[in-house]
Homo-oligomer: A and B are copies of this chain.
Amino acid sequence: MNRVFIYDTTLRDGTQGEGISLSVEDKVKIAQRLDRLGVAYIEGGWPSSNPKDMEFFRRAQKLPWKNAKIAAFGSTCRPGSMACDDPNLKAIVESGAPVATIFGKTWDFHVTTALKTTLEENLRLIHDSVTFLKESGMEVIFDAEHFYDGYAANPEYAKEAILTAEKAGADWVCLCDTNGGTLPQEILAVTQEIVFLARVPIGLHVHNDGDLAVANSLMGVMAGARQIQGTINGYGERCGNANLCSIIPNVQVKMKMDCIPGESLAHLTDTAHYIAEIANQTLRNDMPYVGRSAFAHKGGMHVSALLKDAQTYEHVTPETVGNQRRILVSELSGMSNVIYKAKELGLDISHQNPQARQIIDNIKELENQGYQFEGAEASFELMLRRAFDQEPEPFVLDAIKLMIEKRSNAEFTSEATIKLRIGDQVVHTAAEGNGPVNAVDNALRKALGTAYPFLQSCHLSDYKVRVLDEKNATGSPVRVLIETRDAHDTWSTVGVSTNIIEASWEALRDSFLYGWLQQQKKGDTDPVG
């Protein structure tokens, strides 16, 4: 079989990650997106553990699923009790999901220490629980918890446990590296043995505590396993679960096996970002395949080679996974980066053009002052436009004032006033904030918001301050980086000054100007009169 079944547990194991919490509505949205991506199984939750998960299963029954089967999660029944009386197993059946995934112990130490029962009783729990669920007409996946640790401690017992599940009729046995510490070479050897031993198809469920979860999943596939359990963006307890956003392209593109429909792969990046957004997590820029920096090139030599052939410094083309190439501009980079960037903007520039040399000198001078354009592409574009006399001017600033005050033990207060002109109209307004930069931000929005209603859909999503040349202490220059988002786009701007208000102002101004430029391209930026 050349197919690897992708089993997503973002909605269950993913939510055990620190800081991740999903409403029922969130879960439904994520599940629908996963189905569109084309995973084979979506684990919706643990129906007996909370009403939220039960509600998800109720809603899931009424929705059309194109690619995925919904799975309900739980554990084998309790020592000394009958499977058919177990509220946890009954809730799985009542969930209406077509698939049941239950975990059971396979590590002898865990049976005696955590479960506090005998090795024989544990085998009975596995057998009876699987049998009960099969008799209820469900597809049953048996998650062999701590299998690799169990195998290392007592291989005979670990094998007996999974063969018990097989005998009871389980459709899949998934080998878990629950503590996430097993090495790839061990995963490969042990999985190979199990694939030969078992008649039931084998899957893997591994955690990332050794920074090896993706590799360990691939080792499983190499050994003959045909189901991989993991989460989008690797969310999960401690160091996370196996990251499906890396596993899927590795298996599909590199190992040339099917796991999601071919046309879906180009939606991997937007799926990762969408789910991060719903989970209220900032997606790491350096995420393989789907991160903003995954195809970002900084070294000048790399860029000059990329211009000759992208394959020189890219392992796959970014479009394969729906991502894009980015060329960063920094002190490490040369002329090639600037030319590449200018051409992207449709500006007429070449190695021979004296303007190119001037712009490079200008960048070097600005970088000497502490500007950093690699994280601030919008400011870089504005700087290029200024060099080509194409600076946008939707408003002219007359004055900004800020008053910050503290009286004896009272709180600090911050108030900003701003006066600017939009065409012939003079706007003069004021706002408070929970700090001075926030007050300036609020005042600027207030001043521009009526004329430029698009600002309402823009929000600042990141604000970074870096003190440069720290030895000058409070007199040091600071660099401010601001990230802005609207419904479609994200852009970053930079400001540098010894005055943090000025640096923030520059970045705020550029954020607005760039947003305005994008709107202008769409033809709807004339000030509302």
Given the interface contacts A402-B404, A460-B474, does A218 sit within 8 Å of B501 by beta carbon? no
Q: Is the CB of A434 within 8 A of B498?
A: yes
Within 8 Å of chain B (Cβ to Cβ): is A463? yes
Within 8 Å of chain B (Cβ to Cβ): is A17? yes
Q: Is the CB of A286 within 8 A of B441?
A: no
What per-residue 1/0 map shows which CB atoms of A467-503 lie under 8 Å from chain B?
1011111111010001100000000000001111110
Select A298's contact among B237, B282, B397, B405, beta carbons within 8 Å. Answer: B237
Q: Is the CB of B246 within 8 A of A18?
A: no
Within 8 Å of chain B (Cβ to Cβ): is A118? no
What per-residue 1/0 map shows which CB atoms of A396-432 lie under 8 Å from chain B?
1111111111111001101000000000000000000
* A237 nearest CB neighbor, chain B only: B298
- A interface residues, tally (CB under 8 Å): 132
CB contacts (< 8 Å) of A299 on chain B: these are 16, 237
CB contacts (< 8 Å) of A332 on chain B: these are 15-16, 49-50
Q: How far is the CA of A16 from the CA of B302 in the complex (A)?
A: 11
Q: Is the CB of A405 within 8 A of B412?
A: no
Q: How many copies does the complex hold?
A: 2
Within 8 Å of chain B (Cβ to Cβ): is A67? no
Q: Is the CB of A501 within 8 A of B404?
A: yes
Distance in angstroms from A326 CB to nearest chain B CB is: 9
Q: Is the CB of A475 within 8 A of B237?
A: no
Q: How far is the CA of A414 from the CA of B502 in the complex (A)?
A: 10
Would you list which residues of chain A between 362 and 418 have a CB under 8 Å from chain B?
372, 374-375, 396-408, 411-412, 414
Within 8 Å of chain B (Cβ to Cβ): is A169? no
Within 8 Å of chain B (Cβ to Cβ): is A32? no
Select A436's contact among B183, B315, B404, beta carbons within 8 Å. Answer: B404
Q: Is the CB of A237 within 8 A of B302?
A: yes
CB contacts (< 8 Å) of A94 on chain B: these are none
* A305 nearest CB neighbor, chain B only: B114
Residue picked from A315, A414, A508, most chain B C-beta under 10 Å: A315
What per-residue 1/0 map shows which CB atoms of A56-87 lie under 8 Å from chain B?
00000000000000000001000000000000
Select A374's contact among B18, B411, B474, beta carbons within 8 Å. Answer: B18
Q: Is the CB of B21 within 8 A of A372?
A: yes
Within 8 Å of chain B (Cβ to Cβ): is A255? yes
* A328 nearest CB neighbor, chain B only: B18
* A309 nearest CB neighbor, chain B only: B113
Q: Is the CB of A437 within 8 A of B474?
A: yes
What per-residue 1/0 map shows which CB atoms of A497-520 lie under 8 Å from chain B?
111111011001000000000000
Given contacts A50-B332, A185-B222, 14 further A-B contacts (CB under 8 A): A18-B286, A23-B469, A109-B311, A114-B309, A183-B250, A185-B219, A211-B214, A211-B243, A234-B286, A237-B296, A414-B501, A441-B475, A461-B473, A462-B471
For this complex, 22 residue pairs linking A to B, each with C-beta atoms less than 8 Å apart, are A17-B286, A18-B328, A113-B312, A179-B314, A179-B315, A181-B315, A209-B294, A212-B218, A237-B302, A238-B293, A238-B294, A239-B287, A239-B291, A397-B408, A400-B405, A401-B406, A404-B499, A406-B502, A435-B474, A435-B499, A438-B498, A463-B474
